[in-house]
Amino acid sequence: MNRNEILKKAHSGDLSGADLSGADLYEADLSRANLSRADLSRANLSLANLSLANLYGTSLSGANLSLASLRGANLSLADLSGANLYGTSLSGANLYEATLGDTIVVQSGPLGSRRDYLVTVWQPGWEHEETRAGCWTGTLAELAERVTNVYGDTRYGQEYRATIAYHQAMLAARRTGEGSVSDKKATN
């Protein structure tokens, strides 16, 4: 199936179970697409819009998801092992029992004045974790500084600080936990 056929079928039909391994879907709009149990391993989904897509049980192992939007997507039981998640928006995504390999994803929310999700991702080889809060992206330390400057000791400031501490603790525990996290599933 070529790129145009894939996109046409995604908007008018059903791609569940489709073999799209290695497909070039750079900047593709696959929002709300049914890709359950599809094979998207090694696919290029950089800058793709997969918001609210059904990716239940889908293989995304080794896929390039850099800067893609997976906001609100169903990724339960999906295989994301070895996927490039740099800059990927996972806000509100269902990661229940997703296979993440050595990637660590911590998600909390909704919180703050925007009632959005705080998502922190770390992959082996990254010097720092990447944290997203709404449209803001940076490290947890940078977010803590921003929260102090913007919210001070208000309810939102307290809520963010508690959540930041939780994310830091989860990252520390998972980075230094016994054994590899390769076989562990995500729970949110």
Q: 10-45 pLDDT, tens per residue?
A: 877 789 999 999 999 999 999 999 999 999 999 999
pLDDT attached to residue 177? 60
Beta bridge partners of 109: none
Check pLDDT > 50 for residue 179: no
pTM above 0.75, yes or no: yes
CB atoms inside a 10 Å sphere around CB 147: 21
3-class SS of residue 137? strand
| Cα separation, 20 vs 30, whole angstroms | 13
Q: Give the model's pLDDT for residue 186.
A: 57
Go through the domains of the chain in sequence order and give each one's CATH number.
Answer: 3-176 (2.160.20.80)
- What does each C-alpha distance from 55 to 9, 11, 40 come to in angstroms? 15, 15, 10
Span 137-158, pLDDT tens digits: 999 999 999 999 999 999 999 9
pLDDT value of position 180: 44
